[in-house]
Structure 1
């Protein structure tokens, strides 16, 4: 092939050669377009895969949290329903009075039953809230059943405990029912 006479050597190339070059350029352009399309499709599929992976991980974490909560707090309704049994046993022990020869076995049986019930509660994460007279009222753990001005006490001090409260792990199952002083003198 001869040296091009002017700066535009394509003018010197015969038509057949020019067509060959054009076909090759078109094929390269087509290949490049196809590569770009495949890269875009790959990136889109990778993005979808990453999102699906993240969704699966979030679903696993959610299911694990729900399982733990069901394990820890699933029995809350049953626990609340059993609390009156504890209250009645406690009242029965208090009503029995002092131990005598006649009632010693009865009182011992009630106390043993109450201890066993408390052990079962603890085994399942239920702990009593047992405020004492003179403790400060805590609205997160106590329910004020009444308020009365009692000399010698401070406002917000517990003056009577009507019923113990209970926690289920870190959640309030039932607040302790208390009377609170309103005395400000």
Structure 2
């Protein structure tokens, strides 16, 4: 039997209304849908991987930013000669912040008197500070950061509990 004869025989025996044809068509459509879903998932995963590719590098750089902030926080009562050094540290910090902002890093808002938000703040302790309401931030210990909307590190704060 030739290929043409076999094809003709198959066309004669399988009609669009029979169960074999319907089952084969169903299997074919499911396979097409599965392959489309795999393509979409791979595209989504690739885009997400590109978006957050620098996450670990930026997370490793955060302690540097913390140390620059700490150095600037302890500049009260310095001599005039040291003020120039502080200006240099501040300029370095600004350049560093601008560089990481260009890659999507942003500071989590945490300020004295703001409401504590467990989604973006990490309470490291409580204090009693007059003038602040219950569950308000009394002190920011360490800034928190987001990378393109995703929380990279929560802000460490002291919370007021009267």
Instruction: Specify if TM > 0.5.
Output: yes
Among 88, 107, 110, which residue is 1:131 paired with?
110
Which sections of structure 2, spanning at least 5 residues, go unmatched? 1-7
CA distance in 2, matches of 1:103, 1:33: 92
TM-score normalized by the length of structure 2:
0.81
Distance 1:105 1:71 in 2: 40
Partner of 2:121: 142
Task: Give the structure with higher Rg (CA).
Answer: 1
Q: Is the 8 A contact 1:142 1:176 kept in 2?
A: yes
CA distance in 1 between counterparts of 2:100 and 2:77 reads 27
- Which residue, 1, 6, 12 being the options, matches 1:35? 12
Looking at structure 1, the residues matched to 58 and 120 of structure 2 have their Cα atoms a distance apart, in angstroms, of 17
Compared with structure 1, are the counterparts of its residues 129 and 34 closer, same or farther at alpha carbon in structure 2 (3 Å cutoff)? closer
Cα-Cα RMSD = 2.5
Deviations 1:121-174 (A, max 9, x none): 211111011411111111111111111222222110111111110011121111
Unaligned runs of 5+ in 1: 1-30
Q: Does 1:73 align with 2:52?
A: yes
Check conservation: 1:147, 1:181, Cα contact below 8 A: yes
Q: Contact 1:99/1:107 (CA < 8 Å) preserved in 2? A: no
Match of 1:87 in 2: 66
Compared CA separation, residues 160 and 35, structure 1 to 2 (3 A): same
